[in-house]
Structures are given as structure tokens and as C-alpha cells.
Structure 1
Amino acid sequence: MEEKSLEELFIVEPDFCPACGAILALPTSGPLIKCKVCNFNIRIEVLLGHTTTSSYQFNHQGVYSSSKKGPQGEEEEEEEYGQRDPHRECSKCGHMGMSYTTMQLRSADEGQTIFYLCPKCRHREVENS
């Protein structure tokens, strides 16, 4: 059985080491690109002409709309921001069921910060837990 060389272990983008998968740093001098993890070497001419592209896809948990019929039959639009807490009452309009999202803004041993949004009047509240 034929043994594969290190170069054939991974199918990777040109910016990564095919032997161990580490990011390859561009050389500061000389024609060789050396992996700092496993000492794999590749000549820079092999990578000339290659382009690397990347794209980012964000999971937006932003503002969502839902419409409901009001007491007179007209549609009222409510906006939600993340999850909904059905037991949280808006301090401005008294609406039950505020939307919320959380973030870790302080150090790791501190609690998280909770941002509430009233879907009816758009009043915002912040709670440090």
C-alpha cells in the first residue's frame, strides 16, 4: 500500500498548512513559507496566483415584526428582539411579555446584562444580573 506524503493529508486553502492545518504566515525573507507548528516547508512560487476569498454569514436575532388585530380591528405591529419573557411587564406601558437578549459585557465572574424591549411601545430596559 502506498503511503501518502504530508502534503496530501489535508485538502486545504493555500493559507493553511496541508500537514497540520495551522495558518501559514507569509515569509519575511527568502522563498520558503515555513509552518511554525510542524516545520512543513513550501516554496512561495507554488502559491503565486492563488486567491483566497471568505464570506461571513451572521445569525441576525434582530428586530422581528408580527402583526395583530387591535380592539377596533386595525392591525397593530409588534416588534420582537430575541426571546420573549411572558412574565416581564413593561414599566412604561404595562404590556406583559417583553422581548429580551443577553450579553456578557462585564468580566466572566460577573453576571450577564439583559436588554429588554417592549414589543408594543418600544421602551427599552437594561438589567444587570
Structure 2
Amino acid sequence: MVIQFCDACGDMIPISKEKNVDCELCGTSNENTLIDKVTVTSTSDFPSELRRNRTITAPKSMASTDTWSTTDVTCPYCKAKEVRYTTLQLRGADEGSTMFYFCPDCSTRWSENN
């Protein structure tokens, strides 16, 4: 990391993308010698590979309930005795997974955190 100092008082000058930078201590305008070395970025410039993959794959796996397993959980809406379910790890690895349920009788979906 390169640091620029004020020509008048010797205080550190903040990093900037402007051609001239004013010293915060004495107010002297200094030529920005680091202007060609400064790169301004944000987190959106580096999208997470995992986030990109999650948005591609998660909707596809949740869309079709044909491959979901069945269980003897009662549907809270129509009281059917058997529903389909799947699990996804949506929270941290040290926390439980999320159970997604689908009732084939009334087409209701709901979820529970384990």
C-alpha cells in the first residue's frame, strides 16, 4: 500500500480518485500522485460464485416435487395424511436445514426450520 503525505504539513492525505486532494489538517491542495494507482471497487464487482450457482440451481430443484420423498406428516391445511418433502441447507453449516413440504392433495407448500 502506498501512502501520500501533504507537502505543507506532512499529514497523511486520504486516498482519492480526484486530480488534486486537499489536506484534512491544513487545507493545502496537493497533486494526487497516486491517481493512476487508485482502483475503486465494490462488492457487486465481485459476485460470489456460490451465489451465482445457487440462483441457477435452487429454483430448478424446488420447482418439481416429483422427486421429493414422502412422509407421514399431516397437511395443516387439508389434513391429508401423506405429503412430499425435501431439505435444503439455507442457513449456516452449524445450524439445521430447512424442510420444505408439498401436499399433493391441495397443492399447498410450507417450510419448517430444523
**TM-score surpassing 0.5?**
no
Q: Report the structure, 1 or 2, having the larger helix content.
A: 2
Larger radius of gyration: 2
TM bracket, shorter-chain basis:
0.3 to 0.5
Q: Name the TM-score, length of structure 2 as normaliser.
A: 0.43
Q: Report the structure, 1 or 2, having the larger strand content.
A: 1
